[in-house]
Structure 1
Amino acid sequence: MWFSTNSHHTIMTNMRVILITLHLVLVTIGTVVPMRTESARAFFVFGDSLVDNGNNNYLPTTARANSPPYGIDYPTRRPTGRFSNGFNLPDLISQQIGSEPILPYLSPQLNGQKLLVGANFASAGIGILNDTGIQFVGILRMFEQFSLFKQYQQRLSREVGVVEAKRIVNGALVLMTLGGNDFVNNYFLTPLSARSQQFTVPQFCTYIVSEYHKILMRLFELGARRVLVTGTGPLGCVPSQLATRSTNGECVNELQQAAQIFNSLLVQMTKDLNTQLGSDVFIAVNAYQMNMNFITNPQDFGFVTSKMACCGQGRFNGVGLCTTLSNLCPNRDVYAFWDPFHPTQRALEFIVRDMFNGSSYYMNPMNLSTIIAMDANI
């Protein structure tokens, strides 16, 4: 077989183009992945069922969301351990900050490079106090979540070295969600609970905020430098409380007042802590008002109801647990509440929008968009 000079030249030129293109593709493949890993900000989550994304699946506890219809709107259409019809609060924040979803710390899949993304230590049923949620047995109380966080840092250090591990932890975004269970699963759990015999509501709020102060200081000692601290939502307006305590579906005043006293003290405590530390480490998230916006005016947010849970039974679908035997609404997007205690994914999307763009009334001293812009310049 023979070639003319022109055709030989053309073939050689084409081969050079192919080789150069192939080289560029290989260089691109080689550089994109490390850049993504390096630039992504780690995300850590601590707290209760509002932010647990599956840790309780691995624990000997009744406080689980690992059976249908939980997860009905999650991409896999299967339960994941999230107390949601789909994504939960940490998932939606991860999406907004451009991070891949973080895994529960107890997941066997959390190893190697995945450690660099962060981890979720939250456990459904826990509170600020160690005696909150004792009825749920083997849950991860706050001191245990912190113990696992220390263990995580040792594992991260083995992966990337001590200096880089410290940089990742110091530069991370942290979400802390606590307090609701101290009221609904402790103080107000029974008409004459041990804590209600010990404290009036204002005294109890002062006590648990002083205990919360210790938790936040411990988190700072463990390296957290940018922490979102959510106040409690409007506890008296969730379907479980409407079902058991309201006459005509009105929010239960006693719980509403308790939430407001607690939240007010919490905001002041975070301000004092920031002053003491000389930096805006703790950001108070006004979850109460973020929820009240769509509870008070559900139609403005596209909801048909903010009283009835999508999944449950009894009055307002607020009695018992959400199971395969429960009433289940066909369209979760028009319900503010998924089960007797937890908002739907759609409701959480409105909350995350306020976290990113809300005024200082919602996010004190600044919102998440401001935090991300500021931290990018450090």
Structure 2
Amino acid sequence: MGSCTLSSGGVCVVVVLLSLACCLTCARGAVPAIYVLGDSQADVGNNNYLLHSLLKANFPHNGIDYPGGKPTGRFSNGYNFVDLIAISLGVPSPPPYLSISSKPMNSSVYLKGVNFASGGAGVSNLTNLAQCISFDEQIEGDYHRVHEALRKQLGIPGAKAHLAKSLFVVAIGGNDIINDLLLSPVSELLRSRDEIVSNLENTLKRQMQTLYDLGMRRLFFVGIAPLGCCPLIRELNPTKECDAQANYMATRLNDAAVVLLRDMSETHPDFTYSFFDTSTAVLQSIRYKEVKAACCGLGDNNAMFLCSPASVYCDNRTSYMFWDVVHPTQATVEKLMKIAFDGSAPLVSPKNIKQLTES
């Protein structure tokens, strides 16, 4: 855009506004919708509809910084990372699938994007069994039904074109590792940690291929955070420091995901992706006054339970890395998504979100 001078007055303002409008239109044209699958990092309220699940966040003090100050089912004090991606791309943050699943097959609501993520979900169907919507059920059940609805509404070529332009977001794997650590006396008798990661890798490969077969062409994959440093896992460590074994497993599964996605892009030239190395970004790029304690919780370092109405919570939430025992604050997510959106390798590669959605 050309330079503006003081003498240009209102013309300068008009040019700036037109440029912003053009950018927003381009963003909306490039990404008509966002389809989200995964765990509590991305859940925007699906678990609210699970009658018997204990893994919910639809009560105070969750959502204290969300517009209106009310809990929505997000495991956060405010926006989660999916909301921030949607804001950056100029599209609506997709609603929880279970809030719209009763809509007819020809409803236009599915064209605007859907969030299938469920708090507690893991790569393995056994992770938090009966407490969440498993990743396989999200893919082969809920998303498959939306895929069929899109085909019915748009026709097969139209649905294929719509999904190819859309952004798919996946955040999964952390709960598998957390469950293994919490059940370690039992799990270690059955399989080594390397075997566990290998099994998760093979399952994830099948799941990603299924998503490709169902129209996914542009994927933003969120790598697992350094789980050993979250308050829940720190509290299990006698030294209260980051747990090296947990971080090792997170790194192993992240490395496996990178290879998997690279292989997919070589096998399918029409598939492009962005992998965000959350673990490295958190450990190297994010600095806070408080990194050990959760903002909202109970007990030592607020690390005993998820945030609840009975919890105490911090006032200076922008100074805390963690909102509760495992989930980041909105402030942390904002910093991470800034890197993911327009950062570069090795933290986000081979493309950032901006490059991925412009291609």
TM-score normalised by structure 2 residue count:
0.86
Letter in 2 for 1:44: Y
In the alignment, structure 1 residue 59 sits paired with structure 2 residue 50: yes
Question: Unaligned regions of 5+ residues in structure 2, if any?
Answer: 1-24
**Equivalent residue, structure 2, for 1:71:** 63
> Is 1:232–1:263's contact at 8 Å kept on the other side of the alignment?
yes
Pick aligned residue for 1:190 from 183, 188, 213: 183
In the alignment, structure 1 residue 272 sits paired with structure 2 residue 263: yes
SS in structure 1 at match of 2:200: helix
In the alignment, structure 1 residue 332 sits paired with structure 2 residue 323: no
SS in structure 1 at match of 2:263: helix
Between the aligned partners of 2:234 and 2:69, the Cα distance in structure 1 is: 29
1:157: how far off?
3.8
> Is 2:274–2:351's contact at 8 Å kept on the other side of the alignment?
yes
Letter in 2 for 1:127: G
Question: Unaligned regions of 5+ residues in structure 1, if any?
Answer: 1-33
In the alignment, structure 1 residue 151 sits paired with structure 2 residue 116: no
1:291-342 superposed Cα distances (whole Å, 9 cap, x missing partner)? 22355xx2xxxx3211111001112211112111112101211111100010
Between the aligned partners of 2:277 and 2:356, the Cα distance in structure 1 is: 16
Letter in 2 for 1:53: V
1:29-69 superposed Cα distances (whole Å, 9 cap, x missing partner)? xxxxx999876521000000010110010113111101111
Work out which of the two has the higher radius of gyration on C-alpha atoms and give 1 or 2.
1
Q: Using a 3 Å threshold, how does the CA distance of structure 1 residues 162 and 269 change in structure 2: closer, same or farther?
A: closer
SS in structure 2 at match of 1:232: coil
> Is 2:31–2:357's contact at 8 Å kept on the other side of the alignment?
no
Letter in 1 for 2:204: Y
1:83-115 superposed Cα distances (whole Å, 9 cap, x missing partner)? 010111110000001101210011048854332
Q: Using a 3 Å threshold, how does the CA distance of structure 1 residues 178 and 188 change in structure 2: closer, same or farther?
A: same
SS in structure 1 at match of 2:234: helix
Pick aligned residue for 2:73 from 81, 85, 102: 81
Pairwise CA RMSD? 2.1
How many residues of Structure 1 are paired with residues of Structure 2 in the alignment?
330
SS in structure 2 at match of 1:193: helix
In the alignment, structure 1 residue 237 sits paired with structure 2 residue 232: no
Worse overlay, 150-159 or 326-335: 150-159
Q: Using a 3 Å threshold, how does the CA distance of structure 1 residues 368 and 39 change in structure 2: closer, same or farther?
A: closer
1:156: how far off?
3.0
**Equivalent residue, structure 2, for 1:28:** none
1:243-271 superposed Cα distances (whole Å, 9 cap, x missing partner)? 22241x32111111111122122212211
In the alignment, structure 1 residue 181 sits paired with structure 2 residue 175: yes
Letter in 2 for 1:123: S
Letter in 2 for 1:193: V
SS in structure 2 at match of 1:211: helix
**Equivalent residue, structure 2, for 1:126:** 121
1:109-135 superposed Cα distances (whole Å, 9 cap, x missing partner)? 88543322100001111110111112x
Pick aligned residue for 2:97 from 105, 108, 129: 105
Between the aligned partners of 2:184 and 2:157, the Cα distance in structure 1 is: 52
> Is 2:27–2:358's contact at 8 Å kept on the other side of the alignment?
no
Q: Using a 3 Å threshold, how does the CA distance of structure 1 residues 35 and 259 change in structure 2: closer, same or farther?
A: closer
Letter in 2 for 1:362: L
1:193: how far off?
2.6
TM-score normalised by structure 1 residue count:
0.82
